[in-house]
């Protein structure tokens, strides 16, 4: 068994079964996948999110292995990912409680509690063509450069997200930042339960992350000039050199983004 409790949970749950307490939490349910549930709740004057994992079952494990995917078995992967991003200086959630128990991966229990990041707004909701135009070229490029820096920091340090869409970048909209440019505000990377951590990020996983990011960025109004700005910042090279050395890679990223867009149209996610 693994257990980490910070305040106020360490004191309030003293002498109790923390797993029973975590699984009994009620509040606003944001996602319920049967074996995995995400709930926002209030506790001791603060706002938090709890993710509970009740075990994925043997069938789900075998299905993932059949497709050569590493199954996400519980909350520990996200707990480790939060620690890794914080060590890299990337803004993300703050874990205040975590637990895992059970020897069988198919039915282990785990939970993760993080502080609610509020007030924030996902970048895919904050950004639209009108907002991007109002930013002006300099600020728009600064925001793109910021996203490129976050992406490079993750990928160069062996981290890939696997759901790397703008909806998983939360912009801090606290009143104290009202007069601060968007590019200079905290931007939190969230939804880390599928993150992979290695010594080095393979090319295919960089590709998947970047294609997902470009797809979601195009949907809200970013364009090819923004892509060029992103490439310069991500590669930390003049654009011509970056394209000379990786033209096939970036063309492939763009094609994959177009495929994701077409898939979204077919499934009715957007027009």
- Which residues are catalytic, by number? 163
CB atoms closer than 10 angstroms to residue 174: 12
Burial of 66 (0-12, 13-18, 19+ CB in 10 A): exposed
DSSP state at residue 92: B
Q: How many CA atoms lie within 13 Å of 122's alpha carbon, on the beta-carbon side?
A: 12
* 3-state class percentages of the chain: helix first, strand second, coil last, to nearest 5: 50, 20, 30
Contact 189, 209 (CB under 8 A): no
Please list, in sequence order, all residues whose beta carbon lies within 8 angstroms of the beta carbon of residue 255, skipping any fewer than 6 positions away.
Answer: none
Backbone angles phi, psi at 262, to 5 degrees: -60, -40
Q: Return the beta strands (E) in the chain as ranges.
A: 2-5, 28-32, 36-43, 46-53, 95-101, 109-115, 120-122, 159-160, 169-172, 187-189, 196-197
Total length of the chain? 271
Q: How far is 144 from 164, CA to CA, in rounded Å?
A: 15
**Pairing outcome for strands 187-189 and 169-172:** antiparallel
Tokens read off for 10: 């360490």
């Amino acid at each position: 068994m693994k257990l980490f409790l910070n305040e106020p949970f360490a004191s309030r749950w003293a002498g109790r079964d923390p797993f029973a307490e975590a699984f009994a939490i009620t509040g606003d349910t944001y996602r319920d996948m049967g074996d995995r549930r995400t709930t926002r709740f209030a506790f001791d004057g603060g706002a938090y999110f709890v993710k509970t994992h009740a075990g994925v079952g043997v069938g789900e494990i075998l299905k993932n292995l059949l497709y050569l995917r590493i199954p996400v078995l519980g909350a520990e992967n996200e707990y480790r990912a939060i620690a890794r991003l914080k060590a890299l200086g990337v803004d993300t959630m703050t874990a205040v409680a975590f637990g895992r128990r059970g020897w069988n991966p198919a039915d282990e229990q785990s939970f993760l509690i993080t502080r609610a990041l509020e007030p924030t707004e996902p970048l895919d909701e904050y950004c639209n063509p009108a907002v991007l135009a109002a930013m002006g070229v300099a600020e728009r490029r600064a925001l793109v450069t910021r996203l490129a820096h976050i992406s490079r920091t993750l990928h160069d340090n062996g981290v890939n997200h696997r759901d790397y869409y703008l909806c998983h970048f939360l912009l801090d909209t606290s009143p104290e930042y009202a007069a601060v440019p968007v590019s200079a505000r905290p931007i939190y990377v969230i939804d880390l339960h599928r993150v992979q951590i290695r010594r080095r990020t393979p090319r295919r996983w960089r590709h998947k992350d970047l294609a997902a990011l470009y797809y979601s960025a195009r949907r809200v109004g970013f364009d090819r000039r923004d892509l060029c700005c992103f490439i310069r910042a991500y590669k930390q090279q003049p654009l011509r050199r970056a394209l000379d050395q990786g033209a096939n890679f970036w063309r492939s990223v763009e094609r994959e983004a177009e495929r994701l867009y077409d898939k979204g149209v077919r499934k009715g996610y957007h027009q």
